[in-house]
Chains A and B, each alone.
Chain A
Amino acid sequence: MNESSQQVIGHVVGTEQTPNTAYSFHFWAEQSAPLGIGSLVRVEYGPVGGPAVTIYGVVVEAYAYNDLPNALTDYLGREGVPGGDPLTLRPEIRVYEAAVLRRIPEEPVAAVGIGKVYEATASDVRAALSGDKFKGGIPIGFYGMKGKELPVFADPDYMLGPEAGHFNITGTSGLAAKTSYIQFLLSSIFQHFEGKGDQGIAAVMFNVKGGDLLFLDHPWESPDDASQRMYEQVGIPVSPFPNVTYYAPYQSEAHAGLVTLRSHPELDKDNPTRGFCFGLNTVLDNADVLLSREDLDAKADSFLAFLRNEVVGRDWAVDENSGSLKVDSLVQLIEAVKQMLAKAEENRGDYRSHHSATIRKMYNRLEGFRQRFAGLIASQTEESPPLPLKFEDRHIYVIDVAQCSADAQDLVFAAVISELRNRMEQGNLGVQRLVVVVDELNKYAPSGGRETHVMRSLRDIAARGRYLGLVLFSAQQFRSRVDPQIVGNCANSAFGNIQLEELTHPTYTVYPPAVREKLATADPGELMVRHPHFAQPLFIRFPLPTCLRGTDGMKKFPVTRRSLEDEIMKVAKRMDPHIAPAEVRDLLARIRAEDRENRLNRILECLAEEERKGGRRVKEVIQRCGGLAQEVTTGPPVPVADPEDPFA
Chain B
Amino acid sequence: MNMAALPFRLSDVLRDVRGVRLVAKPFDTAQELGWIPREDTALEEFVNSDVVEEGRFEGRDVVESHASSFEWFEDGTEKTRLAFFEDFYPGCIACVGAAILKREGREMLHTHGYVDQKTFIAAFEGTQAASRLRERGFDFAAVHADLASGESPSKAIQNRVSVERDTKERHIISRWLADGNPGWLLVDGGIANILEGRTEFHRIVGVVKSHRKMYFQEREKLEVIQSLRPGQRSPVFLANPLQRRSAYSWYLRLRHSDTQGPFFGLIRVELPPAEESLRYVDEVSSWILAERAPLSLPDVRFDRMIYPIRRVEMYLRSLQPSDAQLTGMVGA
Contacts and interface: CB of A to CB of B under 8 A. Distances in A.
Nearest to B3: A48
A51 interface: no
B2 A48 contact: yes
A74 B294 CA distance: 7
B311 interface: yes
A85 interface: yes
Contacts of A76: 295, 297
B297 A69 contact: yes
B106 interface: yes
A86 B297 contact: no
Contact of B307 (A48, A85, A88): A88
A78 B293 contact: yes
B293 A86 contact: yes
Nearest to B287: A87
B207 to A, nearest CB: 15
A145 B67 CA distance: 41
Given A73-B298, A76-B297, A88 B314 contact: no
Interface in B280-307: 290-291, 293-295, 297-298, 307
Given A69-B298, A74-B294, A77-B294, A89 B106 contact: yes
B71 to A, nearest CB: 11
B103 interface: yes
Contact of B106 (A68, A69, A84, A86): A86
Interface in B1-21: 2, 4
A67 interface: yes
A450 interface: no
A86 B307 contact: yes
Contacts of A74: 294-295
A279 B314 CA distance: 82
Contacts of A88: 103, 106, 108, 291, 294, 307-308, 311
B68 interface: yes
Contacts of B106: 85-89
B151 interface: no
A503 to B, nearest CB: 37
Interface in A520-559: none
Contact of B297 (A48, A73, A78): A73
Interface string A65-83: 0011100011011110000
B301 to A, nearest CB: 14
A73 B295 contact: yes
B109 interface: yes
Interface in A85-117: 85-91
A224 B293 CA distance: 50
A89 B107 contact: yes
Nearest to B292: A77
Contacts of B298: 69, 73
Contacts of B290: 87
Given A48-B4, A67-B314, A85-B106, A90 B293 contact: no
Nearest to B315: A91
Contacts of B314: 67, 91
A69 B2 CA distance: 32
A84 B67 CA distance: 12
A91 B314 CA distance: 11
Interface in B86-137: 103, 106-109
Contacts of B311: 88, 91
A151 to B, nearest CB: 38
B29 to A, nearest CB: 18
Interface string A46-62: 00100000000000000
Residue from the set B290, B307, B314 with the largest chain A CB neighbour count within 10 Å: B307
Nearest to A79: B293
A84 B107 CA distance: 16
Residue from the set B68, B108, B291, B295 with the largest chain A CB neighbour count within 10 Å: B295
Given A48-B2, A67-B314, A86 B109 contact: no
Contacts of B308: 88
A69 B314 CA distance: 14
Contacts of A78: 293-294
A427 B311 CA distance: 74
B109 A90 contact: no
Contacts of B107: 89
Contacts of A77: 293-295, 297
B271 to A, nearest CB: 20
A82 B23 CA distance: 51
Contacts of A89: 106-108
A330 B331 CA distance: 94
Contacts of A86: 106, 293-294, 307
Nearest to A114: B2
A74 to B, nearest CB: 7
A90 B307 CA distance: 9
A91 B109 contact: yes
Given A67-B314, A85-B106, A90 B4 contact: no
A86 B108 CA distance: 13
A131 B2 CA distance: 35
Interface in A331-346: none
Nearest to A48: B2
Contacts of A87: 67-68, 103, 106, 290-291, 293
A48 B3 CA distance: 11
Contacts of A79: 293
A290 B222 CA distance: 100
12 contacts: A73-B297, A73-B298, A85-B106, A86-B106, A87-B68, A87-B291, A88-B103, A89-B107, A89-B108, A90-B294, A90-B307, A91-B109
Closest 9 CB pairs of A and B: A77-B295, A69-B298, A77-B294, A86-B293, A73-B297, A89-B106, A86-B294, A77-B293, A88-B308
Given A76-B297, A78-B293, 16 more contacts: A67-B314, A73-B294, A73-B295, A73-B297, A73-B298, A74-B294, A77-B297, A84-B293, A86-B106, A86-B293, A86-B294, A87-B291, A88-B106, A88-B291, A88-B294, A89-B107
Interface of B: 2, 4, 67-68, 103, 106-109, 290-291, 293-295, 297-298, 307-308, 311, 314
Interface of A: 48, 67-69, 73-74, 76-79, 84-91
